[in-house]
């Protein structure tokens, strides 16, 4: 188990996946909250059956998987449905994350979570790393990869923690505003060296107790 955990977060379209992929290239174990969220609603799971019973069969795709895009549109327009879904899924996702952290073997591990701060997952980590870009870039990048509309993306941004507040929690910041992949890589390499030292210090401190 990795004794030192770095929480990676940032708004939608900020570049979290790009950053986490570079950490993975450096042989750092990645625990992705979005992947954990998919695991707990995989076909046949109790959570998926509960979602089907609550929202209807049309929220389940023909292949038996959750129609995430349809559900996302629903919960961003219906706050009470969002609250119901959060109450169902958050404990399951947290348990899955804890299980994956326990299996991590690298000197430190990375917990990637878009809602790290909003869902209080930052209380599980030793440091918070924020990837930061402006809102216009968030919208542009998300439109390029998702079928969502600009209006829906802006609603998602509005539902997340404001950028200034998110940055106030940051121990470290990666500036991804108009940066090349190589520039991001260099920022990650510097942080990796820092986290290697911090994790080693944490390990030795635990031996002294």
**What value does the mean pLDDT take over residues 179-185?**
93
CATH of segment(s) 4-204: 3.40.50.300
Give the pLDDT of residue 113: 96
pLDDT tens, position by position, 23-80: 999 999 999 999 999 999 999 999 999 999 999 999 999 999 999 989 988 888 888 9
Mean pLDDT of the chain: 92
Indicate the domain borders of the chain. Answer: 4-204
Give the pLDDT of residue 43: 94
Beta-carbon count within 10 A of 35 CB: 14
pLDDT tens, position by position, 105-136: 999 999 999 999 999 999 999 999 999 999 98
Rounded Cα distance between 28 and 45, Å, is 30
């Amino acid at each position: 188990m990795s004794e030192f955990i770095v929480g990676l977060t940032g708004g939608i379209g900020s570049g979290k996946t790009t950053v986490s992929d570079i950490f993975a290239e450096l042989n750092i174990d990645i625990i992705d909250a979005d992947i954990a969220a998919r695991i707990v609603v995989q076909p046949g799971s109790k959570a998926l059956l509960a979602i089907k019973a609550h929202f209807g069969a049309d929220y389940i795709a023909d292949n038996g998987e959750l129609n995430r895009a349809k559900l996302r549109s629903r919960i961003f327009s219906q706050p009470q449905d969002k609250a119901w879904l959060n109450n169902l899924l958050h404990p399951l996702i947290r348990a899955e994350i804890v299980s994956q952290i326990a299996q991590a073997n690298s000197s430190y591990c990375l917990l990637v979570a878009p809602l790290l701060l909003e869902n209080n997952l930052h209380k599980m980590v030793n440091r918070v790393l924020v990837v930061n870009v402006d809102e216009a870039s968030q919208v542009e990048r998300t439109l390029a990869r998702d079928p969502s509309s600009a209006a829906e993306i802006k609603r998602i941004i509005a539902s997340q923690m404001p950028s200034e507040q998110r940055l106030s929690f940051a121990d470290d910041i990666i500036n991804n505003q108009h940066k090349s992949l190589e520039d991001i890589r260099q920022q990650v390499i510097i942080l990796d060296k820092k986290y290697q030292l911090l994790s080693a210090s944490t390990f030795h401190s635990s031996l002294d107790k």
